[in-house]
Chain A
């Protein structure tokens, strides 16, 4: 999935959250030339015909719609653009956290402005944000939006049905305000936090824009799209926007860098994630020799692969499980997810020595944060033989610490069984953005997932 806010140096515009399946954020998309070109799979070029409802909705809501721009202080150049919408008559707007993240993290370098559909511009102040669900509450710093009727939220009691028509609004690719039709497809399955599956084409620049039902009530906030799919997009449910509005409506503007607040939110997230993960029992794949830790697919998605049947060498079966949920911190950093992977090797066709050479090569072929960056330290590791009720494991545990998100670490545990000359299992567990104690709990949970099969 890709986040839909865009950075000027790369092009256009934006929309997006905390889901992220296949890869790159919109901030890193290839830059279009001055006349922005939509990306493959984000087909702005051939929208569905605008229905009478879409036309009516756009006319009704264009006064509540704004473009949220992040400008470099000291010059008028825009660094990123997204969308937002009015939620109070006093000038409060909702958008995505990732749309305002540059100004939130580096307020000394960036400032926020809004631009309405009729060309009015004014400053924006950040009042509150929820990085975990990727929503932010901002307020016009002038009186330019006061008196405009806000958009209303659809009551949570009135649930939508799959297939219902919904409308997403925003300013895609900085080319102008637009309304795009699509369908409500329920909540994304196996997502750690609820996200709406929107069957429509969101584009960079629409991040933070509203998604409306037929009656013009807000059902969600545009947030992300899948790069590897077509018309598979995502919305933050409106309830999170409404909660943020209630919480931050009277809050003073945030003028300092938000790293401390981000740390608090991520700390709460990782507690919840760890708690839920530890409550789950491991599934047991059908390995004849070992019990191998494979997570329940309640909020992770697992994919499997195997060697060709006619292979002459090392045979293996692989399982790769990961969470779709990653929390956007900055253009460079996403965190807050788990991955669990294992490979079961059968080297009986190779013999003991050849097996050990190839088993070692596979164990070696792992990457860890090797160098320190601006965001985190290089990995520090401990390794040793661990006894799991008679099953010897070679275990490597690596940690790297976040520099500005104090108290959070990335954890990696690498394990190889060492009980047989020609058969073995290697596995890896990664948890991003967890505190030290939870890292220890998760590591223990993972290591103890290995055992002899009874």
Chain B
């Protein structure tokens, strides 16, 4: 018999779980056995809807159902008849349906994705960059002859943590994408960690060079932003269809984390950031800002007095005593 349509039952990821050929219109859909298409969904009524071919599209008549038929936020209640184009997703009970018609234009064939030849290079590059950075930092902090022992310990720690982190995300990919995308997550994690470290180091050196200490104070924010981007990349690898929503989620999470940390810091110390003063002292050749005479520097210190006096006037008998903080 000639196919006059195809009803597709979709899973939650939008993949076709079942396709039912239509040989004649109208088609009745519901849970009762006398329907043309029987859905095994407790949220579907006995005779939930009837579909008919009307013009270039479809006519949908909702049967005796309390849940109606939904499309996005739109709900068609029992007894309603609407004309809809083919190819839309409808929610019948908790089952997603889509109808294809013979004259409906087909989307072009998608090429089968082939693993990029650059993929191993990207993973190795990200990992190599991270190991190189960690080695460089360890080299800077160690004395001659003491590099390897310290580096080995640090490397093992970072590798184990990175492996566990990537494994967690790869399990997410397996769950939602049905593929164990471990090395993609390794690449994202190592790139994110490397980028946040590099950005932090560059900001510290720039803060020293220009004596604009705000750059150094902003390092936690910059690191949080990079980590948020990395987490967004992880999420997109797990749920690629929700890229935009996940972008908002990552941005909101980063903002909330930075805001909470700043609020707690302010409550504890009266400052928004942890850093009381710039402590990065690169080689003197990197200094661009001029050195001021002692008088000018001390004149700038005088600005501190009104703020200190105001805070001193705020007696707080609930605060710990001076010596008690050492016991914290």
Contacts and interface: CB of A to CB of B under 8 A. Distances in A.
Interface of A: 28, 311-314, 330-333, 349-350, 352-354, 356-361, 363-364, 368, 370-388, 392-404, 406, 409, 414, 416, 418-421, 436, 440, 443-444, 447-448
A384 B269 CA distance: 22
Interface in B237-267: none
17 contacts: A312-B146, A313-B143, A354-B140, A360-B282, A371-B268, A372-B270, A378-B311, A382-B301, A382-B304, A384-B291, A384-B292, A384-B300, A385-B290, A386-B292, A403-B315, A420-B284, A444-B298
A360 B204 CA distance: 11
Given A380-B308, A399-B305, 10 more contacts: A332-B322, A333-B323, A364-B279, A372-B269, A387-B294, A397-B301, A398-B277, A399-B304, A421-B284, A436-B305
B269 A374 contact: no
A232 B276 CA distance: 40
Contact of A363 (B146, B279, B316, B324): B279
Contact of A375 (B140, B276, B282, B322): B322
B281 interface: yes
Contacts of B320: 373-374
B291 A386 contact: yes
A373 B318 CA distance: 9
B289 to A, nearest CB: 6
B294 A386 contact: yes
B283 A383 contact: no
A377 B308 CA distance: 7
Nearest to B326: A367
Contact of A332 (B144, B211, B284, B324): B324
Contacts of A312: 143-146
Contacts of B314: 403
Interface size class of chain B, counting residues whose CB lies under 8 Å from the partner chain: 35 or more
B291 A392 contact: yes
B106 interface: no
Contacts of B301: 382, 397, 399, 440, 443
Given A374-B321, A383-B213, A418-B284, A401 B309 contact: yes
Given A371-B325, A373-B320, A447-B294, A416 B139 contact: no
Interface string B293-315: 11001101111110111011111
Contacts of B309: 401
Nearest to B136: A353
Given A372-B319, A376-B322, A393-B291, A443 B298 contact: yes
A370 to B, nearest CB: 6
B34 interface: no
Contacts of A399: 301, 304-305, 308
Nearest to A397: B301
Contacts of B277: 381, 383, 396, 398, 414
A371 B269 contact: yes
B295 to A, nearest CB: 8
B297 A395 contact: yes
Interface string B123-148: 00000000000000001111111100
A331 B280 CA distance: 37
B283 A421 contact: yes
Q: Looking at B281, B282, B317, which has the most chain A CB atoms within 10 Å of its CB?
A: B281
**Lowest 5 A-B CB distances belong to which pairs?**
A313-B143, A364-B279, A387-B291, A357-B140, A332-B321
A314 B143 contact: yes
A342 B147 CA distance: 28
B32 to A, nearest CB: 71
A418 B144 contact: no
B287 interface: yes
B91 interface: no
A376 B320 CA distance: 10
B304 to A, nearest CB: 5
A331 B323 CA distance: 9
A333 B325 CA distance: 12
Nearest to A335: B322
A93 B278 CA distance: 54
Contacts of B281: 356, 359-360, 363, 394, 416, 418
Contacts of A354: 139-142
A349 B269 contact: no
Contact of B284 (A358, A360, A392, A402): A392
Nearest to B286: A356
Given A387-B291, A443-B301, A400 B146 contact: no
A381 B291 CA distance: 18
Given A386-B297, A406-B312, A370 B269 contact: yes
B324 A373 contact: yes
Contacts of B305: 399, 436
A353 B96 CA distance: 62
A381 B314 CA distance: 19
A238 to B, nearest CB: 31
A368 B271 CA distance: 14
Contacts of A313: 142-144, 146
Nearest to A426: B281
Contacts of B322: 332-333, 373-376
Contact of B319 (A374, A401, A404): A374
Contacts of B268: 370-371
Nearest to A436: B305
Contacts of A393: 291
A396 B276 CA distance: 10
Nearest to A388: B294
B289 A380 contact: no
Among B146, B284, B301: residue with most chain A CB under 10 A? B301
Nearest to B289: A385
Contacts of B308: 377, 380, 399-401, 409
Contact of A402 (B280, B304, B312): B312
A22 B270 CA distance: 32
A403 B283 contact: no
A374 B292 contact: no
A372 B311 contact: yes
A330 B297 CA distance: 35
Nearest to B312: A401
A385 B325 contact: no
Contacts of A384: 211, 291-292, 297, 300
Contact of B294 (A358, A370, A372, A448): A448
A332 B322 CA distance: 6
B140 to A, nearest CB: 4
Given A312-B146, A392-B287, A378 B269 contact: yes
A401 B213 CA distance: 23
B308 to A, nearest CB: 4
Given A313-B143, A383-B277, A375 B291 contact: no
A401 B320 CA distance: 16
A374 B298 CA distance: 28
Contacts of B146: 312-313
